[in-house]
Every structure is written in C-alpha cells, then in structure tokens.
Amino acid sequence: MLFKVEMTVNIPSSLPSAEVEAIKAKEKAYSQRLQREGKWPHIWRVVGQYANVSIFDVADNQELHDILTALPLYPWMEISVQPLCMHPSSIHHEQK
C-alpha cells in the first residue's frame, strides 16, 4: 500500500544540542535503512521548514504505524497520513 506522509518536526529548544544531534543521527540511519529496503521510496524536504513529504510503500496501516512511531524524532513530530491509489489517467500501469 502506498501512503503520502507529511511530517513536521518541532524539537523543543530546551533539549540539549548533543542529545538532539544523537537523535538526528539515529533518525537518519533508520530512514536510510527503510529507503534501502524499499519501504520509504521517496522523501522530499519542504523548503524553509523542518518538514518533509514522503511516500511509503508498506504492507498495511499497521506496518506504517509501526514505522512512524519508531522514528527517533516521532515524539516531536506532527504527522499527516493519506492513503494513495493509482489515478485512472496515469500512464503507468503498475498498480500498488
């Protein structure tokens, strides 16, 4: 199943910078592993914001939930999820 996920990160300024950097390093490693596995095929930064728009390709809602809640930055994220399906005018015939 394909999902569009929008994530905005709001790390509190009171969090020590060393802790923030460690969390960001874990986040990067985790997200890159998911990208290599094909579960997170697209990620785009939103210009001027600490935010991204991503496409996830996972088995079901539960797998997406498990992935998102395991993100190291999850406690400081606002997340919006929208399921996707093939558009009837698409020239691509592959149905996910």
Residue 29's identity, in one-letter code, is A
Q: Is residue 94 part of a domain?
A: no
Q: Is residue 14 part of a domain?
A: yes
Q: Is residue 71 part of a domain?
A: yes
Q: Is residue 90 part of a domain?
A: no
Give the structural domain span for 44. 2-84
Q: Is residue 36 part of a domain?
A: yes
Distance between CA 87 and CA 92 in Å, rounded? Answer: 9
Q: Is residue 93 part of a domain?
A: no
Q: Is residue 10 part of a domain?
A: yes
Distance between CA 61 and CA 47 in Å, rounded? Answer: 28
Distance between CA 26 and CA 83 in Å, rounded? Answer: 27
- pLDDT band of residue 86 (cuts 50, 70, 90) is confident
CATH of the domain at 74: 3.30.70.1060
pTM for this structure?
Answer: 0.90
Q: Is residue 60 part of a domain?
A: yes
Per residue in 9-65, pLDDT (tens digit) is: 999 999 999 999 999 999 999 999 999 999 999 999 999 999 999 999 999 999 999
7's tokens: 């994530």
20's tokens: 């923030």
User: What's the total number of domains in the chain?
Assistant: 1
